[in-house]
Amino acid sequence: MMARRLFLFAVLVAALVAASVWFADRPGLVTVHWQGWRVDTSVPVLLVALLTFMVVMALLWRLLSTVVAAPGRFLSRRRESRRQRGYAALSDGLAAVAVGDRRRAGKLAKQADKLLADTALTGLLTAQAAELSGDEAEAEKRLSGMVERPQTALLGLKGLLTLAKRRGDTAAALDYARRAWALGSPAADLAADLFDLQARAGQWVEAEATLDEARKRRALPPEDIRHRQALTQFERSVQAERDGDPASALSLALKAHQSDLTLAAVAARASRLLHRAGKERKAAAVLVSTWQVAAHPALVEAWLALAPAETPLQRVKRLEKLVKANPDAPDGHVALAEAALAAKLWGEARNHLELACRQRPSAAIFILLARLEREEHQNEAAAQAWMAKVVTAPAEPAWHCAACGKPADLWASTCPACGTLDSLWWGQQTQALLPAPGQAAEKG
């Protein structure tokens, strides 16, 4: 670099010297007349004067343009710094929202809003900060603003959906969920929300369409989709039977059973409708297939309903077929013991009661054991000993709602107490899950 500059300088000096020598060798005079003025000078002096004038003009021009551009440069630097501070406030604010720091989130949201002056960018933060501080009206306003922009519409609708769900406005929630789903999102929570809202509104056909779309978008795991499908087909079967269409009721019940083999109420329904249609063998097969994977007393009840007029001995024989399909199920042994008691098959009754007692002791089993002592040996003392154990026996399994904790007599796709979809579970309610006596009294 240095060498090149030195070389250029040398060339320039040489050129100047050559030009000076050239002009010195060729002297001449110049006379300028202008407005009564007269200037006499030599050509080299005129050239030097011209050159000096040009250099001065160039310097002046440069100075002037610097002065003129200064405010603009100052403003753009200031804008840049504002933007950077705005983005910092935005990201810090979102971090504050994530950890639930309400105060800091609100402060940073205001800052970002002021510094960035672009509501599309700050909408999410300001909406979430407003939500955190409980200002739902402001949050809703901000989220609605986001809905108008295609890039943030999904985020806005999901936020509005959350707000609507929180205040229990299911109609508005369903509307937001539907609009958000229409944008083509593959979000699992959105698919589940829309399905739940449609199901709660009794729109089972629409709910099933949501599941079909969720399968295409891979929004939900396949087994989850099949389970939800069983719920919709079950409900549609109930509706068809109510509408006086037994053929559709049966085909929907069978579809529901195929979708989820573990639902006892679904299998019981399919079996009952098959029995009514005269398809005895299939009615029994449906119950056995569910009994093998998820034994349940409702299946025993449905099994007994297939032959209501049979003798006690016939009943024992037929029940044995079901029990054999899943010998680990205590409910099968209890049912068989009860049938054996009725048929006065004491030994068989005792066998099955002892098996059931080992698998899952319960009040019902103790009562049957007491009955056995009375009926077989007329042993009242032994019977009383079993009856004494009933009081402290573990609670019988029953349907309970996972959402509200209330018990339910029968399985249903939605909790009869609180309306939550698919919340009923079968089992022994533990003490920890029961409401405290004080609370129960308050509610009562």
- Site of interaction with Zn ion (CB under 5 A): 401, 403-404, 415, 417-418, 420
Task: Classify residue 421 as left (phi > 0), alpha (psi -120 to 50) or beta.
Answer: beta
Q: Are 159 and 143 in contact (CB under 8 A)?
A: yes
- CB 429 to Zn ion: min, Å: 13
> Whats the size of the chain, residue-wise?
444
Radius of gyration of the chain (CA): 44
Nearer to Zn ion, 222 or 435 (CB): 435
Nearer to Zn ion, 363 or 417 (CB): 417
Report d(CA 164, CA 266) in Å as an integer.
33
First to last CA, the chain: 95
Quickly list DSSP for 234-278.
Answer: HHHHHHHHHTT-HHHHHHHHHHHHHH-TT-HHHHHHHHHHHHHTT
Nearer to Zn ion, 277 or 403 (CB): 403
Q: In angstroms, what CA-CA distances link 384 with 95, 183, 387, 391?
A: 67, 68, 5, 12
Q: How many CB atoms lie within 10 A of CB 74?
A: 10
- CB 267 to Zn ion: min, Å: 23
- CB 404 to Zn ion: min, Å: 3
- CB 265 to Zn ion: min, Å: 16
- CB 188 to Zn ion: min, Å: 23
- CB 414 to Zn ion: min, Å: 8
Nearer to Zn ion, 211 or 415 (CB): 415
Residue with the two structure tokens 């030994």: 347
Nearer to Zn ion, 188 or 403 (CB): 403
Report d(CA 319, CA 330) in Å as an integer.
13
Nearer to Zn ion, 186 or 416 (CB): 416
Please list the residues that pair with 46 across neighbouring strands: none
- CB 412 to Zn ion: min, Å: 10
